[in-house]
């Protein structure tokens, strides 16, 4: 899978920049994403199992979403036509995203 973190801290010198890491059963890599970063991921194979931990309880009212293919972010997801969740289908461009950080 590809795991992505985007800096959404408005005053950060890396605001709007991202990191993308390929995680596989073979490379055993993990990615820690701190507060102030948006998180997205895509499975590159069928039957992928992905687990992640959070620092607080799930709070759906706090969720938001940025377009997976936002031109400003220019993230290489290694897919052309992903299957999107309902939430991701309602996402917005990075330029209109109101960061709480």
pLDDT tens digits along 14-25: 999 999 999 999
Q: What is the pLDDT of residues 62-101, one digit of tens each?
A: 889 999 999 999 999 999 899 999 999 999 999 999 999 9
**pLDDT(10) > 90:** yes
CA 16/CA 38 separation, integer angstroms: 10
Domains along the chain with CATH numbers:
1-101 (2.60.120.10)
3-state secondary structure 45-98: CCCCCCCCCCCCCCCHHHCCCECCCCCCCCCCCCCCCCCCCHHHHCCECHHHCC
End-to-end, the C-alpha distance of the chain in Å comes to 27
pTM of the model: 0.92
CA 12/CA 65 separation, integer angstroms: 20
């Amino acid at each position: 899978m590809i795991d992505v973190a985007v800096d959404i801290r408005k005053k950060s010198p890396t605001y709007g920049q991202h990191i993308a890491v390929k995680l596989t059963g073979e490379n055993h890599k993990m990615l820690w994403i701190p507060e102030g970063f948006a998180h997205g991921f895509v499975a590159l194979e069928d039957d992928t199992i992905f687990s992640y931990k959070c620092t607080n309880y799930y709070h759906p009212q706090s969720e938001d979403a940025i377009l997976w293919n936002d031109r400003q972010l220019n993230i290489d997801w290694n897919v052309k036509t992903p299957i999107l969740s309902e939430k991701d289908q309602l996402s917005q461009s990075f330029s209109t995203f109101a960061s709480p950080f």
